[in-house]
Chains A and B, each alone.
Chain A
Amino acid sequence: MYERTLGDVVLEVRNISLSFGAMRVLNDISFDVRQGEIRSIIGPNGAGKSSMLNVINGFYHPQEGTITYRGETRHEMKVHKAAEQGIARTFQNIALFKGMSTLDNIMTGRNLKIKSNILLQAIYWGKAQKEEIEHRKKVEEIIDFLEIQAIRKTPVGRLPYGMQKRVELGRALAAEPEILLLDEPMAGMNVEEKEDMSRFVLDINDEFGTTIILIEHDMGVVMDLSDRVVVLDYGLQLADGPPDEVRSNQAVIDAYLGVPH
Chain B
Amino acid sequence: MRIERDVIYIFMATLFLMVAIPWAAGQLSDEILFEWPFFFEVAIGGLLAGVMYSLVALGFVLIFKASGVFNFAQGAMVLFSALTLVGLNELGLPMWLAIIATLFVMLILAIVIERVVLRPLVNQEHIILFMATIGITYFLDGFGQTLWGSEVKILDLGIPSDPGFYFGGAILINDFDLVAALIAGILVITLALFFQYTRIGRALRAVADDHQAALSVGIPLKHIWVIVWAVAGIVALVAGIMWGSKLGVQFSLALIALKALPVLILGGFTSVPGAIIGGLIIGAGEKLAEVFIAPLIGGGIEDWFAYMLALAFLVFRPQGLFGEKIIERV
Q: How far in angstroms is the closest Cβ of chain B from A235?
A: 22
CB pair A91–B212 under 8 Å, yes or no, is yes
A80 and B215 contact, CB distance less than 8 A: yes
A-B contact count (CB 8 A): 83
Q: Is B205's beta carbon under 8 Å from chain A?
A: yes
Interface pair B213/A111, CB less than 8 Å apart = no
A residues bordering B, Cβ < 8 Å?
57, 59, 79-80, 83-84, 88-89, 91, 95-100, 104, 107-109, 111-112, 114, 118, 121-122, 128, 132, 157, 171-172, 175
Q: How far is the CA of A104 from the CA of B219 in the complex (A)?
A: 14
Say if the beta carbon of B84 comes within 8 Å of chain A: no
A83 CB to nearest B CB, Å: 3
How does the 8 Å CB contact mask read for B4-46 relative to A, with 1 for contact and 0 for none?
0000000000000000000000000000000000000000000
Contact: A175 with B205, CB < 8 Å?
Answer: no
Are B214 and A108 neighbours in the complex by a CB distance under 8 Å?
A: yes
A-B contacts, 16 listed (Cβ < 8 Å): A80-B218, A83-B216, A95-B210, A99-B270, A100-B209, A107-B202, A108-B203, A108-B206, A108-B219, A109-B217, A111-B203, A111-B219, A112-B217, A122-B194, A128-B198, A171-B217
Q: A100 vs B198: C-alpha distance in the bound complex, in angstroms?
A: 14
Q: Is B116 in the interface zone, CB < 8 Å from A?
A: no
CB-based contact A88/B217 at 8 Å:
yes
**Could you say which of B198, B217, B270 contacts A111, with CB atoms under 8 Å apart?**
B217
CA of A111 to CA of B210 in the docked complex: distance in angstroms? 15
Cβ 8 A contact of A99, one of B199, B209, B213, B216: B209
Which residue on B lies nearest to A85, using beta carbons? B218
Within 8 A of A (CB), among B156-172: none
Contact A100 B206 (CB under 8 A): yes
Contact between A111 and B199 (Cβ–Cβ < 8 Å)?
yes
Chain B residues near A122: list those with CB within 8 A.
194, 198, 200
* Chain A positions within 8 Å of B209 at CB level: 96-100
Contacts A59-B212, A91-B212, A121-B200; A83 near B270 (Cβ below 8 A): no
B149 at the interface (CB under 8 A from A): no
Min Cβ gap B327→A in Å is 7
Q: Contacts A95-B213, A171-B217 known; A114 to B205 CB distance under 8 Å?
A: no
Q: Are A118 and B199 in contact (CB under 8 A)?
A: yes
Please tell me which one of the listed residues A84, A96, A99, A157 contacts residue B218 in the complex, with CB atoms under 8 A apart. A84
Give the interface centre of A80, A107, A172 by most chain B CB atoms within 10 Å: A80
Residues of B within 8 A of A95 (CB): 210, 212-213, 216
> Is B294 in the interface zone, CB < 8 Å from A?
no
* Contact status of A79 and B199, CB under 8 A, knowing A99-B270, A99-B324, A100-B205: no
A157 to B218, CA, bound (A): 22
Nearest Cβ on chain B to A49's Cβ, whole angstroms: 17
Given contacts A91-B213, A99-B209, 11 further A-B contacts (CB under 8 A): A57-B216, A80-B215, A80-B218, A83-B217, A83-B218, A97-B209, A97-B213, A97-B214, A99-B205, A107-B202, A122-B194
Chain B residue nearest to A121 in the complex (CB) = B198
Are A175 and B218 closer than 8 Å at their CB atoms? Answer: yes
Q: From residue B219, how far is it (CB to closest CB) to chain A in Å? A: 5
In the complex, whether B261 has a CB less than 8 A from a CB of chain A is no
Within 8 A of A (CB), among B183-216: 194, 198-200, 202-203, 205-206, 208-210, 212-216
Interface of A is mostly: helix
A119 to B232, CA, bound (A): 17
Which of A97, A107, A112, A157 lies in contact with B327, CB distance below 8 A?
A157
Q: Does B299 lie at the interface of the complex (its beta carbon under 8 Å from any beta carbon of A)? A: no
Q: Which residues of B contact A132 (CB under 8 A)?
A: 199
**With a CB–CB cut-off of 8 A, which chain A residues contact B220?**
80
Contacts of A88 in B (CB 8 A): 216-217
Give 1 or 0 for each of B202-244: 1 = CB within 8 Å of chain A CB. Answer: 1101101110111111111000000000000000000000000
Complex Cα gap A107–B200 (Å):
12
Per the bound structure, the CA–CA distance linking A118 and B219 in Å amounts to: 12
The interface residues of chain B lying within 8 Å CB-to-CB of A121 are 198-200
What's the minimum C-beta distance from B198 to chain A, rounded to whole angstroms? 5
Task: Name the residue on A nearest B198 (C-beta).
Answer: A121
A84 to B218, CA, bound (A): 7
Contact A108 B202 (CB under 8 A): yes
Contact with A along B269-286 (1 / 0, CB 8 A): 010000000000000000
Nearest CB in chain B: distance from A102 CB, A: 13
Question: Which B residues are CB-close (under 8 A) to A59?
Answer: 212, 215-216
Closest-CB distance, A135 to chain B (whole angstroms): 9
Complex CA gap A57/B213 in Å reads 12
Q: Which residues of A contact B210 (CB under 8 A)?
A: 95-98
Which residue in B203, B213, B215, B327 is a CB contact (below 8 Å) of A96?
A: B213
Which one of B203, B209, B220 has the greatest number of beta carbons of chain A within 10 Å? B209
Task: Give complex CA distance A100, B324 in Å.
Answer: 11
Q: Please, which residues of chain A bring their CB within 8 A of the CB of B205?
A: 97, 99-100, 104
Contacts of A108 in B (CB 8 A): 202-203, 206, 214, 217, 219
